[in-house]
Amino acid sequence: MNTIEHLLTCAAEEAVEVAQRADKAARFGLTETQPGQTLTNAARIMGELVELLAVIEMLEERGLIQWPKPEVIREMKDQKKGRVIYYMDYARRLGTLRDE
């Protein structure tokens, strides 16, 4: 394994850890603190996201990836939010999502 492969593997692992922590929060709540832990699920999600960003930064520092311009990031985020809202509405119509 070379350095690039190692960093990419680290990025994948961190992304999985974000997903696992989000799953735990969905099951037990964002404010729940797992026995033996000091942080809530919300805080642990943010910690995993920061660790993922650190690995992304390492990839960027080596010129392996490049962040889009801020306006492109904003547009990409807005598009994603639109898709999430669309599918939330679809799930409501199917009866699989209810409002709080």
Q: Are 65 and 56 in contact (CB under 8 A)?
A: yes
Pick the closest to residue 7 from 49, 47, 45, 62 (CA basis): 62
Q: What is the per-residue pLDDT for 14? A: 98
Digit-by-digit pLDDT tens for the chain (100 residues) are 999 999 999 999 999 999 999 999 999 999 999 999 999 999 999 999 999 999 999 999 999 999 999 999 999 999 999 999 999 999 999 999 998 8
Q: What is the DSSP letter of 22?
A: H
Q: What is the per-residue pLDDT for 97? A: 97
Taking the domains of the chain in order of start, what are their residue ranges? 1-66, 68-100
Q: What is the per-residue pLDDT for 2? A: 96
* Distances in whole angstroms, Cα of residue 90 to Cα of each of 10, 19, 21, 46, 49: 35, 23, 25, 28, 28
Tokens of 16: 């999985």
Q: What is the per-residue pLDDT for 10? A: 98
Residues 32 and 45: their CA atoms lie apart, in Å, by 12
Whole-model pTM? 0.88
Q: What is the per-residue pLDDT for 75? A: 98
* Residue 33: strand pairing partners: 40
